[in-house]
Amino acid sequence: MVLTPPVEPMLARPAERLPRRPGLCHEAKWGGFRAVCFAVAGHLYLQTRRGSDLSGAFPEIARAAGDLAAVEPCVLDGELMVAGEQSRLDFELLAARARRTGRRAAESAAQTPAHFVAFDILQLGEEVTMRLPHRRRRELLEDLFCCRETRWW
């Protein structure tokens, strides 16, 4: 089975304190857009949590996904972010970037590039990894990026 959009991601939930139980893992909420990146040859797609395609608004991420797909096809769950002045994350700037396409998106990508922080791997090659234990998916994700000489994103 190969994943195709849309894929419904797990969503962050507010909590007064972090639960501490064996097998639980926590990820920071960066304040960007939740996104699922389909980096599969012939199918580059940057999906919002509601299923919309943002690939045209973030050509630099789509280009990096294409480079990654050529080497190691995968589907990644993560968050899109844009840094504004003083390298602080800027949600308003990210939202403005999401509304641009074509030439305006390319200009914006050059001026204020977006970043994709991957925190889960949903598919690697032809293997859907969603049913694997989180610890194993995390190992696969780290191997995908940490063991490469090329920095993808």
| Position 147 confidence tier, pLDDT thresholds 50, 70, 90 | low
**Does the pLDDT value for residue 23 go beyond 80?**
no
Q: How many residues does the chain have?
A: 153
| Residue that wins the pLDDT comparison between 11 and 82 | 82
Q: Which residue has the tokens 């580059």?
A: 44
Q: Which of 29, 63, 99, 104 is catalytic?
A: 29
What is the residue-averaged pLDDT of the chain?
86
Is residue 80 within 8 Å of residue 114, measured between CB atoms?
yes
Rounded to whole angstroms, the Cα distance separating 8 from 134 reads: 17
Handedness of CA 28, 92, 84, 65 (dihedral sign): positive
29 is catalytic: yes
Report the CATH number of the 33-146 domain: 3.30.470.30
Rounded to whole angstroms, the Cα distance separating 132 from 46 reads: 23
pTM of the model: 0.85
Per-residue model confidence as pLDDT tens digits over 90-131: 999 999 999 999 999 999 999 999 999 999 999 999 999 999
Per-domain residue ranges of the chain:
33-146
Rounded to whole angstroms, the Cα distance separating 101 from 1 reads: 32
pLDDT number for residue 150: 47
- Which among 55, 37, 57, 40 is positioned nearest to 117, based on CA atoms? 37
| Position 76 confidence tier, pLDDT thresholds 50, 70, 90 | very high
Rounded to whole angstroms, the Cα distance separating 67 from 96 reads: 26
pLDDT number for residue 5: 78
Per-residue model confidence as pLDDT tens digits over 49-72: 888 999 999 999 999 998 888 888
| Position 27 confidence tier, pLDDT thresholds 50, 70, 90 | confident
